[in-house]
Amino acid sequence: MPIISVKFIQGFFTEEQKSALLPALTDAFCKATIEAARPYVYVTIEEVPQGRWALGGHPLPDPDFLVNDVVPMFEDAADEFVKVYGVERRRPRGPDAPPREGGK
């Protein structure tokens, strides 16, 4: 039996949006696998209270962090991966960097 578990910060979505997720996630699973699985697909939604969810050690939601700090945090992590693993950086650092080709 497939179980699709979704967690998000409490209060971000309306009851209508949460209700809409249930059949939409089931539909997506069946489309990607097999329609015959539909009666066996469980979907659970768990809301996590604000302050009990973090990204990079920063409690969410924090609009200032999301707007001003999250991209530099990812960029710093990418720079470290380049150093440690020798992965080629295919686009320049910063907000003016062009999108990656092919949307990848």
Question: Which residue ranges make up each domain of the chain?
Answer: 1-49, 62-99
H helices of the chain, in order, are 15-32, 63-64, 70-85
Task: Give the residues of the chain that fall short of pLDDT 50.
Answer: 103-104
Nearest CA to 78 out of 62, 66, 94, 63 is that of: 94
Residue 30 confidence (pLDDT):
98
Residue 98 confidence (pLDDT):
66
Residue 100 confidence (pLDDT):
57
Residue 42 confidence (pLDDT):
98
Write the DSSP symbol of residue 56: T
Residue 27 confidence (pLDDT):
98
Residue 72 confidence (pLDDT):
86
CATH code for the part of the protein at 1-49: 3.30.429.10
Residue 101 confidence (pLDDT):
63
Considering Cα of 71, then 77, then 81, then 82, what sign does the dihedral take?
A: positive
Residue 41 confidence (pLDDT):
98
Type of residue found at 3: I
